[in-house]
Amino acid sequence: GNSVTQMEGPVTLSEEAFLTINCTYTATGYPSLFWYVQYPGEGLQLLLKATKADDKGSNKGFEATYRKETTSFHLEKGSVQVSDSAVYFCALGHTGRRALTFGSGTRLQVQP
């Protein structure tokens, strides 16, 4: 079946540091890939997505590239801010199912 594996957190960084949160997936065919973010006290919200291999999703300084050869969709940001502190969820959408498959989330803590 489909599955998503994320690096365990928490990830603790200083402000302006470079961020990478790893995400790998297992699926047949060509799934769509997503990153959702959950800020404290709020629901998850879509951060970015990529629907085919080699696509790059980007938003708010975050980027992720759909790598089919490594079945990965790592999230990156060049310079994190305290306001980026949140839980980040990688997710997979497959046409064989009508709901997303989520990873377990990675908590990011950015210190001033």
Partner 1 sequence: DTAVSQTPKYLVTQMGNDKSIKCEQNLGHDTMYWYKQDSKKFLKIMFSYNNKELIINETVPNRFSPKSPDKAHLNLHINSLELGDSAVYFCASSLRTGVNEKLFFGSGTQLSVL
**For binding to partner 1 (CB under 8 A), which residues are involved?**
31-32, 36, 38, 41-46, 49, 51, 89, 93-95, 97-100, 102-105
CB of 55 to partner 1, least distance (A): 12
Which has the closest alpha carbon to 51: 30, 24, 28, 27?
Answer: 30
CB of 47 to partner 1, least distance (A): 11
Rounded-to-5 percentages of helix, strand, coil across the chain? 5, 50, 45
Closest to partner 1 by CB, 18 vs 30, is 30
